[in-house]
Structure 1
Amino acid sequence: MSVRTPLAYVLIAGICIALHNAVIILADRAGIPLWLAVLLSFCVVAGTGYVLHSVFTFRRPLASTALVRYVVAMLANIPLAFVTIWFWHQQVGLPMVFASPLASVCMLALNFLLGRWAIASPNRWMTRG
């Protein structure tokens, strides 16, 4: 892993976090239930994250197998985002403008490991017949 990989990851993760938090906060202000806001965020961020991480972080060509693995790996974010946001917002009582970014920070390491597995590892499991 080159020095560029962690820097690219941090920058792209920042873009994804900003998109995620924008969707969550705007959805909350619009009165959209948290579960639906998390699903909307997933749709926006998964596609953006896959393309940017493939091209800049892991320098791999876009491929359908990697996209499928990335989406599957990022599906872990749906319950994780819901629970962490719910905890900070509902249980601790933080306003969504603070709860959502705090929950995002809690999820960074997991997302790096899952993204790296999805994009940068060999396609063995998708090519077995």
Structure 2
Amino acid sequence: MTRRSHIGRTACYTVIGAACAIMQNVVMIAGAALGAHYMPLAVLAFAIVTPLGYLLHARYTFVAPLSWRDFMRFASGIAAGFPLYFIVMATLCSGVGLPVVVAAPVATIVLYVWNYLSAHWAIYR
């Protein structure tokens, strides 16, 4: 396997991250439209998007072999960002009163840098 340059990794990370962010927001917004609360929806989105994100990032962003160890590191990095996500969601939804359709994309943008750094830590050596 050939490693990507930093610019190539960043570009690939952005494309795959955007696809994952869209999936995350679809779960959040569709669930909210059905009357679900944003907290359990965030957990559901994590369970759906994290394995797919790891698979795509390992294969294409970092061109690294798949391993349970790296998946667990990746998932722990994503999970470590959850408090930040919940704080942003709670502030925007419960505090400011914004609907999930507005708050979820804002929270997703806030997590981009965190997830980029944690994915590098988890997969790229």
TM-score (normalizing by structure 1): 0.88
Matched residue of 2:31: which SS? Answer: helix
Unaligned 5+ segments in structure 1 are: 122-129
Give 1:21 shift.
0.6
Give 1:33 shift.
2.0
Unaligned 5+ segments in structure 2 are: none
Task: For residues 35-69 of structure 1, give each alpha carbon's deviation from its aligned partner in whole angstroms, at most 9, with x where no partner exists.
Answer: 21010010011111100110111110111110111
Partner of 1:16 in structure 2? 20
1:91 to 89, 92, 95: 95
Distance 2:84 2:24 in 1: 13
Partner of 1:127 in structure 2? none
Partner of 2:29 in structure 1? 25
Partner of 1:116 in structure 2? 120
Whether the 8 Å CA contact 2:74–2:119 is kept in 1: the answer is yes
Could you say what the CA RMSD is over the residues aligned between the two structures, in angstroms? Answer: 1.2
Task: For residues 91-126 of structure 1, give each alpha carbon's deviation from its aligned partner in whole angstroms, at most 9, with x where no partner exists.
Answer: 2222211110011111110000001101113xxxxx
Distance 1:61 1:38 in 2: 28
Report whether the alignment pairs 1:54 with 2:32. Answer: no
Distance 1:38 1:83 in 2: 12
Percent identity over the alignment? 31
1:80 to 68, 84, 92: 84
Distance 2:84 2:20 in 1: 16
Whether the 8 Å CA contact 2:38–2:100 is kept in 1: the answer is no
Give 1:73 shift.
1.2
